[in-house]
Amino acid sequence: MSNSPQIFTTIAEITDWRRKARGQIGFVPTMGALHEGHATLLRQIRSRCDTSVLSIFVNPTQFGPKEDLSKYPKTFERDLEIAAREGVDFVFAPSPTEMYPFGYSTFVEETSRSLPLCGKVRPGHFRGVTTIVLKLFNLIRPDLALFGLKDAQQFFVLKKMIQDLNLGIRVEGIPTVREKDGLALSSRNAYLSGEEREKAPQLHQALLRIKENLKTHPSGASFTRSLEQTEKDLNAQGFQVQYLECLEIPELKPLKDGDPIDPTRPLCIALAAYLGKTRLIDNIILNEEHLQV
């Protein structure tokens, strides 16, 4: 059993710690309700840095007014057990008012990669993400930060912010950790009913089918039709698809209808769908080996 991490809840505490900290600092930002996907990031950061910091903060500015902020799962005691098990040194878990005191008025926005996909259907989401991550980066000043490719768009947006604002922080994206049946692990999976949980892996299966289609029908028009057909099929199976798109990465440039597709280029097939009241996202990345973020 590892030692429990030291917990900071205020900016004063973490600032004081950072002033004295030495060596390579690794950082994993999360919204808590930790699962094996988060644990994988923590394990990696620990093995690669001298000191590991986990933040747990359900960031209100990245939720829309009709989204699940108030019911987002909170499992703080269990999160601490996972952090201890993974050998995390420090947990930063501030309150909303600590991060956004009364009168808070500064935001940072990436204005290209954040436009399609979740940027389109969740207006303001990425503005909230980039703002909180920049604030956390400023407080923790990590050498390396790890993110999950489960949220591929978030990763590419943050990469661009780091580059554009010359933050000098190394970031890496870690492949999506999945259940045995292919469902991407997510804190939101806890919302699914038994029946929905059985249905949910169909999203990943649909992405895998599209990947196969792309190999056999790389011509733009027939690939576009296969995306449209898959969306229809998922809707018929009880999902409400918000988007199903194939984009070039890292720029996240959507391929237009019928554009010829070079199946050797780095691509992301990204999907967001409601299953009942639960919004699930997933994606697969193709030709990652050629990716230069």
Q: Figure out which of the listed residues 30, 52, 189, 278 binds ligand AMP, where binding follows CB under 6 A.
A: 30
The residue sitting closest to ligand AMP, measured at its beta carbon, is: 148
User: Residue 246: what are its φ and ψ, rounded to 5°?
Assistant: -110, 125
Choose the binding region for ligand AMP from 67-75, 103-111, 163-171, 181-189 (rule: CB under 6 A): 181-189
Asked if residue 255 binds ligand AMP (CB under 6 A), the reply is no
Asked if residue 271 binds ligand AMP (CB under 6 A), the reply is no
Choose the binding region for ligand AMP from 37-45, 70-78, 223-231, 247-255 (rule: CB under 6 A): 37-45
CB nearer to ligand AMP: pick between 51 and 55:
55
Q: For residue 3, what are the CA distances in angstroms to 22, 83, 90, 145?
A: 20, 9, 11, 22
Asked if residue 186 binds ligand AMP (CB under 6 A), the reply is yes
Asked if residue 187 binds ligand AMP (CB under 6 A), the reply is yes
**Closest distance of CB 285 from ligand AMP, Å:** 12
Query: By CB under 6 A, what part of segment 138-177 binds ligand AMP?
Result: 147-148, 150-151, 174, 176-177
| Strand stretches in the chain, DSSP E | 6-8, 25-30, 51-56, 90-92, 144-148, 170-174, 239-248, 253-254, 267-275, 278-286
Reported as type and span, the H/E element at residue 50 is: none
Instruction: Write b or e for each residue in 46-65: b if 16 or more Cβ atoms lie within 10 A of its Cβ, otherwise e.
Output: beebebbbbbbbbbebbbee
Q: Of 140, 116, 154, 135, which is closest to residue 21 (Cα–Cα)?
A: 140
Q: Cite the active site residues.
A: 38
The Cα 92–Cα 205 span in angstroms is 37
**Closest distance of CB 32 from ligand AMP, Å:** 7
The Cα 193–Cα 225 span in angstroms is 32
**Closest distance of CB 185 from ligand AMP, Å:** 4
**Closest distance of CB 153 from ligand AMP, Å:** 10
Please, are residues 48 and 165 in contact by the beta-carbon 8 Å criterion?
no
Asked if residue 185 binds ligand AMP (CB under 6 A), the reply is yes
Residues that bind ligand AMP (CB under 6 A): 30-31, 37-38, 40-41, 147-148, 150-151, 174, 176-177, 184-187
